[in-house]
Each structure stands twice: as C-alpha cells, then as structure tokens.
Amino acid sequence: MTVFHNARIWSGKTFYDWLETNENGIIVNAGNGAPPENKQKVDLKGAFVIPGLHDSHIHVYSLGRTAFRLNLQGIKSLDELKVKLKQYADAHPEHQWIVGFGWDQDQFDDPIYPSKHDLDSVVPDRPVVLFRACHHIAVLNSLALSTIGIDLDTPNPPGGLIDRQDGVPTGILREDALRIITPYIEKMPDDIRELIFKKGLEICSAFGLTSVHTNDPKAWKIYKKIAENNDLPIRVFLTIPFRELDQEDSPNANEEIGLLKAKRVKLFADGSLGASTAALNDPYSDRSAKDAEGKGILIHSSEELIEMVKKIHMSGFIVETHAIGDRAAEQVLSAYNKLGLERQVLTHCQVLSPKAIELMKKSKTIANIQPAFILTDSYWANARVGDRIRWSYAWKTLLDQEIVCAGGSDSPIETANPLVGIHCAVFRKTNAFPNGWNNDERLSILEAISIYTFGGAFAVGEENKLGLLEPGYYADLTVLDTDIISNPDKLLNANVISTFIAGKEKYRLNS
Ligand SMILES: [Zn+2]
C-alpha cells in the first residue's frame, strides 16, 4: 500500500489531498485532510496532479524520427528553406538521401510551393525529399525524381497526384504518390528502428503523457521487444494499418504485453485540408483543390469502405478512420451506422456537417480531435471552407451533442505537448487570430482536460481503468508545478515534474 500525498489532485470528478494505491498500482482509497498513517508514502511536495494524459492520435515512430531529420517547421520563405537545406546537407554527408519535413508554403512571405529547381540549386548530387507540414505533400529534387523512376511518361498513381507544368513534373507529389518514395527512405534495420521508437516515447513521456494511441506501421514486433524488457515509459495503445491485419508479426485484437496493447486498426477516407485533398460535399471555397470536381478526394468507394470496416470489426479491433472533410466523415459514419457499429473512432473531424454530427450521435462514434491543428489551420481554413467553418473544428458543438471527444496531437504534424493542445481547446488563440478563432467553440478547462484523460481512455475502451483518479482506477498521474485548473492562462508555462504509471514513477524532470 502506498499513499501519494501533499498534492492538490484533480480526479476528473473532484479534488483530493491524497490517494492510496494497492500493490498493483490501483487506487483503493482517496480523500482530503490528513493521509492514512503507517503506509509507504510518496510526497508530491505541493504539486498539482491530474489523471495521466492521453494522446489519442499520434505517430510515435515519425515523432522519434524527427530527431534524425531536417526540421523545416516555422520557416518563413523559400530562401530560408534553401539555406537550411544547404546547411543540413553539408553537415550530414553520411545520409544517402536527404529527408526533411515541416515546410508550409502558407506561412511563406510568398505562398508558392517549392519546386525541384529550388532544391536542385542547392543539392543537385544527392536525392532530396522534403515533406510538407501535413505529410500529404512532398517536394523532391530532380535526382530524387529520377531515382524513384518518375519522368514525363509516369502516370498519376491510384490515389495520388504528380504535379506538372506543361506536362513536366514540378517535383511536388501528393497523397499516394508519396508511397513511391517509401521504399527508398524507410529501409532501416530493426536496431535503428528500436532507437527511433524509444526516442519518440521519451519525447512523449517528457511532455507528461502516460498513454499514447499511436499509429505506426510494422511496429508490433519492436514495441513487443521494448515492452518485454520493461522499457516502455508510457502505455502504448497501438493502431495498426489495415494492410497489417492478419499478417505475420501483427498482433491480435486486445493482445497485451505489460504497458503495450493492440486496440485499433486504421483506415483513411480522404486526404488533408491543407493540401486541399480532404473530401468535401461542395467545392473548396478558394478553388484550391486540384481534382476534376474541386471537392477533394475520397480514397475508397462506399462499398469498399464498408467491407474494410466489417473486416476490422470481425477481427475484434476498434475501427479508427481518418476523415477530414464532411463528405469523408459522412461516408465513414454511414458505414459505421449501416453495420450497426457503436463506439468506433473518427479521427480529425475537421469539417463536419449537421448530417455527420447526427450520424456520429446515433452511432456513439468517438471524435478523435486535434486541438493544436488550429495553430496552423486557422491561417487558411476560412478561405478553404467558407461558411462551412461553422461546422469545422467545432468541438464545443460536439460536446454539446454529448459526443465523446478524445484529444490528440497527430504529432509530428503538431507538437506532442498536450498542454499546448489543452490551451488551444480553451483559448483558440493563434498567430493568425490572437484574440481567438471561432470563440463560440472554446471549451472550459475541465472539458479540455477531460478530452485528454477520460476521452482518451474511452477511445480505447479502457474508461473503467484509466482516465480518472478514483478508487478502482490505475494511479496514472501527470504531476505539474502549476494549478492549471485555477490558472488556465498559465498552461503554456506549466512544467511537468513527473509522471506515474500504475503508481510507478516513469519520468522525472531533470533526472
Ligand atoms: Zn495522423
């Protein structure tokens, strides 16, 4: 029996001064005033404690990999991109391919896409691929294009686009055209992959996360090894890609090893709003979509989608489908409804419609939302969707309809810091909208914390064990130096002091 005391503890329902756990790290008692005597004690030194934070949609492997790639986040011009590329290429002669990420032409002084010529002017002699912030678009130099076999005669691959000018590829590839690059840049021995996974987990743990719902391909075998060695610093709920269902080295539904558990299978219904490939019911208001109808791209027919959803469900997994546009959301939710499936997951939910919200309610679908997306998307979302903004990033509307929302980052798309996500949900302040963007959709601080705790637990079906600090729940704690409930304006300055999982300390600041 251990008593955690000398803290202000938000349980998700009420405040406590102390928690008592059993030998399995499960809370057996909680209260106020003097803690029980004659127990082993953990002194939290006046800290502020909330239930362990979940990230309900993240890519741990890609996050870990950012530490080993050229980071172009926040650059403000094409010239700056070139300078950074040159510096990186010079500093890393060991990389056969130069891989970067994070540029966003909407944040350039002159918002035009980079081209192969821009990259050739800096690095002509090694293949270069630079992913846009959304990871649905990349720019390649000429050597990269020829290395992967793209020339004048290459047709657009299914689900993808090769941008051309006068018939000549510009260097920009979109959506499934990016898959052509994968075999060239992703080949990595398992021991290096293990290091990358561990780096990603370490970053998450230091941000105060105790659970991640992560989408990583070919990951089970490596997570399993880390879990068997008792080296996971957080709970890992793995979402596997659809193509890995029933494959060798893939987990069974609910397979569990220590802090690792396989819960969901991922499908994609459309692209991204930033790349104007998210599927909308009506054309993009700024005519930015490149497809024939100007409404974005549905990846599957409704029949195909239903078959895939059915297959996942029959295998015992929860279905997690990426849907950003209202047409994609309606297609997915219709599939869930048609099959009579409840409590599946719709990830991103950026542009919805009254019909989509109705269908979500009916099927008790979980809205997996990414509040920190507004930091980037508020620059252009109004232009992309026009009046549909009423139903976009409309998280308060969802909660008012009693739709359970789970908060995630989609990191490395946005920062994995959950306090930034909570801040975005509460204040909706961005550089583009310093006084708040669509403030009717602000959440209260308690609502925002709840989507990253209870909502996360609910999205993996663990809401009877995780997400609250009440008797019967695991003592998964995020320990902060700041009372973020009384002072939500201090969210961005709050520090994570430590995390505990099932009562065991897993992270400590400066340790
Ligand atoms: Zn994602």
Sequence-separated (6 or more) residues with CB below 8 Å from residue 370: 57, 348, 407, 408, 409, 410, 413, 414, 421
Determine if the pTM surpasses 0.85.
yes
Handedness of CA 381, 384, 389, 391 (dihedral sign): negative
Ligand 1 mean position, distance from CA 390 (Å):
23
Give residue 431's pLDDT: 92
Q: What are phi and psi of 33, to 5 degrees?
A: 85, -150
Ligand 1 mean position, distance from CA 371 (Å):
13
Ligand 1 mean position, distance from CA 506 (Å):
26
Give residue 473's pLDDT: 98
In the Cβ-directed half-sphere of 30, how many Cα atoms lie within 13 Å? Answer: 22
Give residue 136's pLDDT: 87
Joined together, the tokens standing for residue 148 give 């992967």
Ligand 1 mean position, distance from CA 215 (Å):
7
Give residue 511's pLDDT: 53
Sequence-separated (6 or more) residues with CB below 8 Å from residue 163: 113, 169, 170, 171, 172, 173, 174, 290
* Coil, strand or helix at 225: helix
Ligand 1 mean position, distance from CA 81 (Å):
24
Ligand 1 mean position, distance from CA 134 (Å):
9
Bridge partners of 40, per DSSP, are 2
Ligand 1 mean position, distance from CA 65 (Å):
15
Cβ–Cβ contacts within 10 Å for residue 427, how many? 22
Query: What distances in angstroms separate CA 52 from CA 107, 122, 337, 477, 501, one per listed residue?
Result: 34, 46, 32, 4, 8
Give residue 162's pLDDT: 96
User: Cis before residue 412, ω within 30 degrees of 0?
Assistant: yes
Ligand 1 mean position, distance from CA 62 (Å):
10
**3-state secondary structure string, 373-410?**
HHHHHCCCHHHHHHHHHHHECCHHHHHHCCCCEEECCC
Domain regions of the chain by residue span: 1-51+467-511, 70-185
Whole-number Å distance between alpha carbons of 93 and 471: 56
Count of residues in the chain: 511
Contact status, residue 188 vs residue 194, Cβ threshold 8 Å: no
Which CATH topology does 1-51+467-511 take? Urease, subunit C; domain 1 (2.30.40)
Contact status, residue 95 vs residue 230, Cβ threshold 8 Å: no
Whole-number Å distance between alpha carbons of 20 and 36: 8
Ligand 1 mean position, distance from CA 413 (Å):
8
Ligand 1 mean position, distance from CA 59 (Å):
6
Ligand 1 mean position, distance from CA 342 (Å):
22
Ligand 1 mean position, distance from CA 258 (Å):
25
Could you name the CATH architecture of 70-185?
Roll (3.10)
Q: At what angle do helices 220-228 and 190-206 cross, to 10 degrees?
A: 70
Q: pLDDT per position in the chain (511 positions), as tens? A: 899 999 999 999 999 999 999 999 999 999 999 999 878 999 999 999 999 999 999 999 999 998 889 999 999 999 999 999 999 999 999 888 999 999 999 889 999 999 999 999 999 999 999 999 888 899 999 999 999 999 999 999 998 999 999 999 999 999 899 999 999 998 788 988 999 999 999 999 999 999 999 999 999 999 999 999 999 999 999 999 999 999 999 999 999 999 999 999 999 999 999 889 999 999 999 999 988 999 999 999 999 999 999 999 999 999 999 999 999 999 999 999 999 999 999 999 999 999 999 999 999 999 999 999 999 999 999 999 999 999 999 999 999 999 999 999 999 888 999 999 999 999 999 999 999 999 999 999 999 999 999 999 999 999 999 999 999 999 999 999 999 999 999 999 999 999 999 999 999 998 5
Q: Report which secondary-structure segment, H or E, holds 120.
A: helix 116-120
Which one-letter amino acid corresponds to residue 316? G
Ligand 1 mean position, distance from CA 58 (Å):
6
Best CA proximity match to 228, nearest among 269, 195, 259? 259
* Coil, strand or helix at 509: coil
Contact status, residue 423 vs residue 378, Cβ threshold 8 Å: no
